[in-house]
A and B are shown apart, each in its own frame.
Chain A
């Protein structure tokens, strides 16, 4: 394969995944500029050391996993990581864990949803973001996080349920005030 053609493909991959990867990074790392640095560096490293990935099906998987690891490395360096272990996830469906919606929010559904996603418990949020943004399969999410497919399913379900409840409660709260 010509280097030029491959580079074009690399660029397409970059354009496709840059935004979702930054947003994923942003769910760990608050500073947007650092998120961008991390994502850019992952791409640079792929081109320099793993060109073979550019055309491979596992590019998506590799990208999200690499960004995650780099974010965690960054956080541990910054020493403000709240450590949680994904392997210790309780498989119980926790019905009491509904998130409390703030009252004075816009009715806009997406905005509400965004708020809800923000408030998901960390592990639950990550599974949801990976599935939704990375469009990774349950198996890939499981591999990436080192947890079981069953756990992925449960967390995904939990996220869906919490978001639905959140959006509902918040809208109703607002209607009451209107």
Chain B
């Protein structure tokens, strides 16, 4: 194959960019004569250049919608500044499709919020998952999965003037993207604001906790609103009293109750059996040598029966297992 000298390459590139100098044009022609390179070959490069330009300039993204987002965000920022408060730079993220997932552990009994507004009677819709996990759609077409025992409450205005709801218990949300009306979840201690995303919510006695799987949310202390924090993917935040604590997510299987997927990455075996036990509701033990050993597991299980999971672990680790009455021991 013919070797093209660097200076000629540079000239051809300049020619494509349309800024070839007369000297360069001369040099190129000389070289063409010398090497008997026809114009056709150059024309092929022209075509590649030209057509790739056309290809790449085709609109693949919704510019108008994007501008609305940016415009809106800048307006909000301006309002914040004019309000005179301390300007906190908040990075907001929008999502075209489902994106954020979060688990929020919420203390119970906080749907009184709607009555605190002091207005007249507000019609409330209350949904409770009594016996099993329960799927349903909110008026804005956001999807909710309530874990057994959880309750969600929202007013008739939901989806019109606001998208605010109150939650106690655990739930998973797949929020319909609708930038103009932010989606907010109210818990006893905090307000979680999301824009078109999905996330999960659970419950404990004195701590609210949010785990963001993908995307972003803003977490605000209800009593002290200056206490707030942006939480990104793979981070979690908890509030106890008025103390916010943000850290990286350590437990990768917090979503298992919803997704049915358990995933382990170099996870020590004793952690694995703990998570399997709680997921399958069956005691799984290690024999004494393994308890102190350094065996780790990397695997992912999706909605498989426990038997299959155990088989797979046996294959991966070379260990064995046996059933004993109502427990399983790996050895």
CB within 8 Å of B: which residues of A? 11, 14-15, 18-20, 22-23, 26, 31-37, 39-41, 43-44, 47-48, 77-78, 93, 95, 109-110, 113-114, 117, 128-129, 131-133, 137-138, 150, 153-154, 156-157, 160, 163-164, 167-168
The residue among B54, B66, B73, B89 with the most chain A CB atoms within 10 A of its own CB is: B66
Besides A32-B96, A153-B10, 17 other CB < 8 A contacts? A14-B66, A33-B94, A33-B97, A33-B99, A40-B73, A41-B93, A44-B77, A48-B74, A77-B233, A110-B54, A113-B51, A128-B52, A132-B53, A137-B17, A157-B9, A163-B52, A167-B48
Q: Specify the main secondary structure of chain A where it touches its partner.
A: helix
Taking a contact as CB atoms under 8 Å apart, the answer to whether A132 and B13 are in contact is no
Q: Interface segment, B55-63, B129-137, B321-329?
A: B55-63
Which B-chain residue is minimally distant from A112 (CB atoms)?
Answer: B51
Contact of B61 among A32, A41, A43 (CB under 8 A): A32
With contact pairs A132-B53, A154-B6, A167-B48 given, residues A40 and B61 touching in the complex (Cβ less than 8 Å): no
How would residues 68 to 96 of chain B score, 1 for a CB under 8 Å from any chain A CB and 0 otherwise?
A: 01110110010000000000010101111
Interface size range on B against A: 35 or more
Q: Inside 8 A of B16's CB, which chain A residues have their CB?
A: 160
A15, A114, A132, A153: the one within 8 Å of B6 (CB): A153
Closest residue of A by beta carbon distance from B197: A33
Report the minimum CB–CB distance from B72 to chain A (whole Å): 10
Name the residue on B nearest A96 (C-beta): B1
Residue B220 is within 8 A (CB to CB) of chain A in the complex: no
- Give the A-B pair count, Cβ closer than 8 A: 114
- Evaluate contact between A14 and B1: CB separation under 8 angstroms: no
Could you say which residues of chain B place their CB within 8 Å of the CB of A77?
232-234
Known: A33-B99, A37-B93, A160-B45. A11 touches B55 (CB 8 A): no
- Residue from the list B55, B89, B96 in contact with A33, Cβ < 8 A: B96
Docked pose: A19 CA to B6 CA in angstroms: 33
Partner pick for A11 among B57, B67, B69, B233, CB 8 A cutoff? B67
Q: What CA separation (Å) do A77 and B6 show in the bound complex?
A: 39
Contact between B51 and A19 (Cβ–Cβ < 8 Å)? Answer: no
Q: Which chain A residue lies CB-closest to B47?
A: A109
Asked, given contacts A150-B6, A153-B9, whether A44 binds B70 with beta carbons under 8 Å apart, the answer is yes
